[in-house]
Structure formats: structure tokens, C-alpha cells
Amino acid sequence: MIKSDKAVEAELEAALQRVLSGTPQTPRLAQLAEKGKLGVSYAVVAEEARRSRTLIGYDGCRYQAFRDKVKAILEKGPRATDLARGLEAARKRIRDLEAQIVIKDSIQASLLLELDARTPAPTSTVGNVTRISRR
């Protein structure tokens, strides 16, 4: 029996709601939900609806409107939020480390100047080693 597009879309919608609520009917997905590892994806929704992933798996697919709905959930979901928070935290850490490097370079330069002032021969040309400036 061939189902109409509206019936298939209704099955996909019901599957999406079950996945979002964490109560899938498919045994494999139910096990993942019990472990707390069930996530939303095109493949998971298609598996829960017992349909081919290709119906919603690529741009220009047969059920593009439904794909766009799932895509919106993926873009605004908890994983996307966690990734955005993690990225912002990493950027802040980079800024802090760059500031620390600037301070370290400044302290190191002042110590080298003080050392040159206190020693009779400049340390920049002691022995066979010639100091090369970083900049």
C-alpha cells in the first residue's frame, strides 16, 4: 500500500515528536534514550518513522519543508548552544593567553635591559652566541 505524501509527512512529524520527547518506539533508539544518548538528526527521525533517510536527508529532498523544520531544531538545539558557549569560552581563553604573552614579553625585555646595564660586557654578544631579537 502506497501512502500519500501527507501521511508520510505525518509519520515523520510524529517520529520527530517522539524523538524530542525521548520516547522512541524503535528498539535501538529506545536503548539510546535510556542511556541518555539519543540526539536529533535526520537519520534518527527517519529511523523512528521507519522511512528511508533519503526522504529528508539532503537539500532538495522530497520533504524539504520537514527537513527545514528539523534543521531549525538542530541549529537552535542544546548541542548548538553548547558548541557556541564552548567556542566563546575558547576565544576568551585565547584573549587571556595573548594578554599574558604580552606581559611576559614586556617583563622579559625589561629584565634583559637591566641585565645588560648591570654587566660590564653586554650579554647580547657573550661567547659564540649572539642574541637574536624576536621582532
Q: Is residue 122 predicted with pLDDT exceeding 60? A: no
Give the tens place of pLDDT for each residue, 61-107: 999 999 999 998 888 876 666 777 888 999 999 999 999 999 999 99
Q: How confident is the model at residue 23 (pLDDT cuts 50, 70, 90)?
A: very high
Cβ(26)–Cβ(35) below 8 Å: no
Cβ(15)–Cβ(49) below 8 Å: yes
- Is the full-model pTM beyond 0.75? no
Q: Is residue 119 predicted with pLDDT exceeding 90? A: no
- Residue 58: φ, ψ to 5°: -150, 160
Q: How confident is the model at residue 10 (pLDDT cuts 50, 70, 90)?
A: very high
The pLDDT, as a whole number, for residue 46 is 95
| SS3 of residue 57 by DSSP | coil
